[in-house]
Structure 1
C-alpha cells in the first residue's frame, strides 16, 4: 500500500511539473519533472519487487524468491541515478549560460506547493510505518530505515524525503532568480536537485547490494533469534548460529543445538524435524536447518537485554 500511494502521488506530481516546466521554461522545474517521472517509473519496479519477492519457495528455489526483491529495488535505484540525477545535472549545466528568464513563476510556485502536499502525504505514510516498526525494535527511525531488509519501504522513504527537499531547492532557486534577476540560480537549482538524487541513489544501491551479496545481521537480531531458539522446550543450548537474509523480512537459519534428554538416534532425528517445523512456522523464517552439537562445544551466549523483544524481523 505504501508503494502504491507513492506511485499515484508521483504520477500526478510528474504531470503537473511537466506542464509547469513547459509554461515557465524553468530549468529547476525541468529537473523536478524528470525527478517525478523517474520516481513514478521506479515505483513500478518496487511493485514488481514486492510481487516477485513474495513468491513461495519451490524445488528450484528452496530458499524462496525473496532476494529478487533486492534485485528489482537495485534496478529502481539505478533508475533514480540515470533518469533523475544525470538528466537534472546535465540540464542544469546546459542552462548555466542561459539568460532566459522564468516565465510566470507563480505557476511554478503553485505546482510546487501542490506537489509538496502530495509528496508530503506519501512520505507521512512511510514515516508512520517506519516509526512504528522502529519502536517495536527499540531503535531510532533513521537506523531502522537504513538497516531494515524491507527494501521497498526504505526506497519509498528516501525517495519521498528527497522529493520534499528537491521541491524546496527548486522553489528557492526560482525565488533567487526572481530576486536577483540572474538566470544562473535556476540552473543551479537543477544541478542541486540532481546531486540530491545522486546521493539517494548511491545509498539505495549500496544497501541493496549489501543484501544481495549477503550482510551480517544486526547483533540485536542475532540475540533475538538465539533467545527464541532457547525458549523452545526441546532445546537445551545452542553452540552455533548462522543467520542470513533471503528476502525482505525473510531469514535462513542454521544452528547446532543440544536437545534436552538423551534419546535414541531415531527419536532424536524425529524431534529435530519437529523443532524445525515449529521454528519455520514463524512468519519471518523461510528455512531453518538444525544439527546436533558436540558435547565439548561451548554454548553461545545471547544478550539478555534483547530478551524482551520477540520480533525476529
Structure 2
C-alpha cells in the first residue's frame, strides 16, 4: 500500500478517536460508569497510537545516510511495535484495573442514557473508521484468506488501525451490554466485569500486533510467490547458468533488498557480465517496483556450496 493510503487511514482514525475519547470521558464523569472510563482510556490510547504511527511514517521516509546506508524504513516497524505495547500496557492494563476496582466496590451507573448515546455515536464513528481501514486493507489483500493477508502484509499501519478499530467496536458493544445488564439485573458489578472484558480484548489485540511487528523487525523476506517470480526473471536473462542463492528482506512496506549469488557462463567476458548485472537489476525492479536495491555476487556453484558449508560449520562451533 502506498504511504498516502496509509496516512489516509491513520488520519481518519486519529480524528475519530480524539473526538470519541473526549466524549467518553465526559460521559464517564457524568455517569460514573467504569466501562465508560475503560472506553475513554481505550480511545485516548488509540489517539496517541495514531500519532506514533504518523511519526513512524515520517521517520521511515528519511533518506539513507552513511551510518544508515539502507535508510530508516525499519523505524516504521519499531513504532508499530511500540503501539502494540501501549495498547497492552495502558489500554488493557488500565481497563482491567478499573474493572477490578468496580467489581470490588460496585455502584450504580447514573443517567445511563448518556452512556448509551455516546456509545451509539462511537459505534457509528468507529464503524466509519473501520470501514476506511477495511477497504484499504482489502485493496492489498490479494486472493488469499484474511488471516494469510494479515500475516503477509508488510504495512503495519493499515492492519494496526484495522485491528485497533475492530477491538474498539467489540469494546463499545461490550460496554453497552455491561451497562444495560448492570441496570436490568440491578447488578452494578456487571459494569466492572464489562471493563475487565474490554481489557482482555485489548490485551489479545496487542499480543497479536506485537507478534506481527516483532516478525517484521526481525527481517522478513518477501512472499514465496514473489521470490519465485524474481528467480524466474533472473533465470530468463541470457548468460546465467544457475541462481545459486536468492535472499530478500523488507526494510519497509515498499522497500525490499534483493541479494543474488549467480553462476555466470564461464565464456562471458567481463564487460558482458557487467552489462548482464545491469539488465538483471532493471528487470527485477521493473517486475517488482517494491525492490529498491539489488546486490549481485558472481560465483560458481561449486564455490558457493563450499562457502555455505564453511559458514554452517563455523556457526555450529
> What's the TM-score bracket when you normalise by the shorter of the two chains?
0.7 to 0.9
Over 3 Å counting, the alpha-carbon distance change for 1:170 and 1:234 in structure 2 is: farther
For the residues of structure 2 that align with 1:110 and 1:146, how far apart are their CA atoms? 37
Hey, what's the Cα distance between the residues in 2 that align with 1:277 and 1:292?
A: 17
Q: 205-214 vs 279-288, which deviates more?
A: 279-288
The aligned counterpart of 2:113 is 106
Deviation at 1:258, TM superposition (A): 4.2
Residue 53 of structure 1: aligned partner = 60
Greater shift after overlay, 279-288 or 175-184? 279-288
Residue 41 of structure 1 is matched in structure 2 by: 48
Q: Does 2:224 correspond to 1:219?
A: yes
**1:134 partner SS:** coil
Counterpart Cα distance in 1 of 2:211 and 2:190: 32
Instruction: Point out where structure 1 has 5 or more consecutive residues left out of the alignment.
Output: 299-313
Where does the alignment leave 5 or more consecutive residues of structure 2 unmatched?
1-7, 305-317
For these two proteins, the number of residue pairs brought into alignment is: 297
Contact 1:250 1:284 (8 Å CA) reproduced: yes
What is aligned with 1:139?
144
**1:278–1:64 Cα change, 3 Å:** farther
How far apart, in 1, do the equivalents of 2:126 and 2:237 lie?
46
Deviations 1:224-262 (A, max 9, x none): 332343455675642211111112232111112345794
* Structure 1 residues 234 and 139, CA gap change in structure 2 (3 angstroms): farther
Q: Provide the residue aligned with 1:81 in structure 2.
A: 88
Alpha-carbon distance in structure 2 between the residues aligned to 1:235 and 1:58: 33
Alpha-carbon offset, residue 129 of structure 1: 1.6
Distance 1:200 1:212 in 2: 18
1:54-73 matched pairs, under 5 angstroms: 54-73=61-80
String of CA shifts for 1:134-168, please: whole Å, max 9, x gaps.
Answer: 12xx2122321233110111110110110001101
Q: CA deviation at 1:297?
A: 8.4
Q: Is the 8 A contact 1:239 1:297 kept in 2?
A: no
Q: Which has the higher helix share?
A: 2
Tell whether 2:268 aligns with 1:263: yes
Aligned positions of 1:189-268 closer than 5 A: 189-232=194-237, 237-259=242-264, 262-268=267-273
Residues 1:8 and 2:15 aligned together: yes
Matches of 2:239 and 2:174 in 1, distance apart? 59
The answer to whether structure 1 residue 179 and structure 2 residue 184 are counterparts is: yes
Distance of aligned partners of 1:234 and 1:111 in 2 relative to their CA distance in 1, 3 Å threshold: farther
